[in-house]
Structure 1
């Protein structure tokens, strides 16, 4: 069992963070499904009382309500809390430079976030998503400038191809610039394709992984059924949680089949399905802290109890089997006995232990 105040180092940095981070995308009701300010404050306070110390938001969550709420909650206790936010999502759909990874977007976004948060520095700033256009050198150089200015302490990257992350990280190390400490990616029993490239890369480069959507958009809680597949959804941020699960590809027949096994394992353990799904992500040695979101204090407390979940091997085998993904080329190819024999002959070598920074 792990406690919330058993802190972990974030990647190769000296930043200590709790094993579960509080996702603040539910702070605010502008999108139609979040918590109002009073409920958000209660959730925030309960998270801190439990020993948590890292809160994750973004410049555009709930039209800026999330950052503004968090700014008010931070008053009088700013320095003891690790505040993570993100840039790249557009702040003005009519302005081509209000979003993306470029220097102008970054500067405008960070200045707005500092104002919303009521602070003069951000602990952890992520590139929210790769825009496919901004040169990687511009992204990593611009982020490093912010660290040197003191407005940002640590850097992270989210939702970006592994080869681009590795390129930027290596460029920073070679040039003596601030490098990434964290990688935020979708990772759950439903979304395991990050195990192909992103998670091994993070482990080798020393990036702390922060999974988002560890509950598969709510599907792994067991609250959806096949009937929900027949209901039309919406791709807009303003919609139901079911809409988001459908548009993100987690509410599918495969997702429901995985959820059924999660529910069965939860019943055996006397835990909730959400606790089982969260606990599973924390077993990966590359994962530093999983994101948890909640609309009520009760949901938050239930999620924190995921730290108490202990699996037996048969339960892990069932979860692995129902959720397994094809690793694709070259990974599947390189694991074939014929290929292994060509590269190693009749010898055997013990693999290098997984890095822990």
Structure 2
């Protein structure tokens, strides 16, 4: 396992992040504690140290399982990321949302479930579209000053909100967001319109959820296997099936699984990207871990890009027009270094 720096920080995290939304059996699916422990054993044996959870995952059971595990191991080895925002109870209107009151309450509960004194990375989970971003940043910075959180991050939030937050944080001396968690995969590339360019500008690491599009990119639905993704989903339509077939073709060329190809495409992008790989079975994790030994050629990357390419809309596609490039660069576009 290789290690990457998380955003502009000096925090070293494994090149794959272990997603634990399935730790717990609430809702009739998921891994029990014994299986979850076995998954974490395999992850750490491979050199993994980056674990992703949230206050609401399996009604808090995910955090409890992780807490039981790390309390019997070297706590400082692990980089534990959790999230606040979503309700863990419905007792009052401030038991959810991005507001400071919910942030402080949620963090205290997460610390208890995780059996730890600090959270390495705290994400705002989903933007509520009502809380001022300065309220969020000041609250996160206070938690960092208190030693309860080490780093701030954000998930599922419009690019302009994140950009405003990091821009405001700099002159105020507040901690900036170092990571951005969004849905991103070969089937879901819309973050390339605004979110990923913004993350690159601020030096944020992108930590995609659903990097395999709910399993669609493994090819299991094309093989007639069952899963939780509904047939009418955009993960299983004609376009996604066409993309998946290209993934499967390249997997055959490399003698690896389609999951390896889909994950490695993401890891070989020209920005910092650490996929979150979820697992409810040990063999699922073991297969995902083999991704680190796969390398896609320039031609294979191009084929995947062409198969999954999306319209960037305005102004992204406008900037790519030859006339615009000629006028903006005076004919020197191909000779100028790009950021």
Which of 155, 158, 162 is residue 155 of structure 2 equivalent to? 158
The alignment's TM-score, normalised by the length of structure 1, stands at 0.90
Shift of 1:197: 1.3
Distance 2:119 2:333 in 1: 48
Q: Is the 8 A contact 2:325 2:333 kept in 1?
A: no
Distance 2:241 2:18 in 1: 26
Counterpart mapping for 1:313-324 below 5 A? 313-324=298-309
Which of 25, 31, 42 is residue 46 of structure 1 equivalent to? 42
Distance 1:320 1:288 in 2: 16
1:310 equivalenced with 2:330 (yes/no): no
The alignment's TM-score, normalised by the length of structure 2, stands at 0.95
Q: Which has the higher contact order (CA 8 A, sep 6+)?
A: 1
Counterpart mapping for 1:197-346 below 5 A? 197-225=194-222, 241-243=228-230, 249-346=234-331
Paired residue secondary structure (1:217): helix
Structure 2 runs not aligned, ≥5 long: none
Structure 1 runs not aligned, ≥5 long: 232-239
**Correspondence for 2:22:** 26
Q: Please, which moves more after superposition, 93-102 or 58-67? A: 93-102
**Correspondence for 2:3:** 7
**Correspondence for 1:101:** 98
The number of residues matched between the two structures is 338
Shift of 1:98: 1.1
Change (3 A) 1:348 1:190: closer
Shift of 1:91: 1.5
Distance 2:19 2:232 in 1: 20
Counterpart mapping for 1:345-356 below 5 A? 345-348=330-333, 350-352=335-337, 354=339
Distance 1:347 1:295 in 2: 52
Distance 2:306 2:270 in 1: 19
Paired residue secondary structure (1:125): strand
Q: Is the 8 A contact 1:82 1:123 kept in 2?
A: yes
Distance 1:79 1:214 in 2: 27
The Cα offsets for residues 60-92 of structure 1, whole Å up to 9 and x where unpaired, read as: 001111000000000132111000000111112
The Cα offsets for residues 212-265 of structure 1, whole Å up to 9 and x where unpaired, read as: 11101110000114979xx9xxxxxxxx6224x866x42322222211111111
Q: Is the 8 A contact 2:325 2:331 kept in 1?
A: no
**Correspondence for 2:184:** 187
The root-mean-square deviation of aligned C-alpha atoms, in Å, is 1.9
The Cα offsets for residues 307-331 of structure 1, whole Å up to 9 and x where unpaired, read as: 1112223322221111100011011
Q: Is the 8 A contact 1:211 1:287 kept in 2?
A: no
Shift of 1:94: 5.0
Distance 2:36 2:333 in 1: 55
Shift of 1:350: 4.3
The Cα offsets for residues 83-113 of structure 1, whole Å up to 9 and x where unpaired, read as: 0000111112353211111101101110110
Which of 110, 119, 122 is residue 122 of structure 1 equivalent to? 119
Distance 2:97 2:58 in 1: 19
Q: Is the 8 A contact 1:8 1:288 kept in 2?
A: no
Change (3 A) 1:18 1:353: farther
The Cα offsets for residues 264-300 of structure 1, whole Å up to 9 and x where unpaired, read as: 1111110001111111110113234211111221111
Distance 1:220 1:126 in 2: 27
**Correspondence for 1:84:** 81
Distance 1:18 1:119 in 2: 21
